[in-house]
């Protein structure tokens, strides 16, 4: 078994229930997203030109939604990079563990909603890109 690649990161559609008074998009554990949600947080008021993220997880899956506005996610598996734009609140990006992800190019007033498969644990984060690449290489040579 090998670590996932950027092509294992999937854009998934969330149901949109239309109403003239406004739309609603429900998200259920293990239905619209491929894991049980243990933590929810959101990024907002990101200044122009700033990026967020720039890390990978050892075990945690994440699902990112542009709840408002738009932003891009630069995905990196240590070999290949892929840029994904999120700009609709009924679409989200599933990021499995061992994918380096950076959220960039936030539009003014944008909100990035993140659903995570695990509660916060500093030990689960890989914050150094060189260590990330080494961990992927070590795993590939033994996996």
Report pLDDT for 47: 83
Confidence of residue 140 (pLDDT cuts 50, 70, 90): low
**What are the pLDDT digits (tens) for 83-139?**
999 999 999 999 999 999 999 999 989 999 999 999 999 999 999 999 999 998 876
Q: Does the active-site annotation cover 55?
A: yes
Q: Where are the alpha helices (DSSP H) in the chain?
A: 129-142
- Enter the CATH code of domain 6-14+33-142: 2.60.120.10
Active-site option among 55, 57, 61, 94:
55
Arithmetic mean of pLDDT, 21-30: 92
Which residue is associated with the tokens 């033994």? Answer: 142
By percentage, how much of the chain surpasses pLDDT 70?
Answer: 96
Q: Where are the domains of the chain?
A: 6-14+33-142
Question: Mapping DSSP to helix (H, G, I), strand (E, B) and coil, where does residue 119 land?
Answer: coil
pTM for this predicted structure:
0.92
**Phi–psi pair at 5, nearest 5 degrees:** -110, 175
Arithmetic mean of pLDDT, 70-90: 96
Check whether 48 has a pLDDT greater than 80: no
By percentage, how much of the chain surpasses pLDDT 90?
Answer: 83
Report pLDDT for 81: 97
Distance CA 71, CA 101 (A): 13
Output the average pLDDT for the chain: 92
């Amino acid at each position: 078994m090998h670590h996932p690649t950027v092509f294992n990161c999937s854009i998934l559609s969330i149901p949109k229930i239309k109403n003239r008074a406004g739309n609603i998009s429900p998200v259920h554990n293990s239905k619209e997203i491929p894991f049980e949600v243990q933590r929810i947080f959101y990024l907002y008021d990101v200044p122009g030109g700033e990026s967020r993220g720039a890390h990978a997880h050892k075990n945690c899956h994440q699902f990112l939604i542009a709840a408002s506005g738009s932003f891009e996610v630069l995905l990196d598996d240590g070999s290949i990079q892929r840029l994904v734009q999120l700009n609709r609140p009924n679409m989200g990006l599933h990021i499995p563990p061992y994918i380096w992800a950076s959220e960039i190019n936030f539009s003014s007033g944008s909100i990035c909603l993140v659903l995570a498969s695990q509660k916060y644990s500093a030990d689960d984060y890989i914050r150094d890109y060189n260590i990330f690449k080494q961990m992927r290489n070590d795993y590939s040579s033994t996996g």
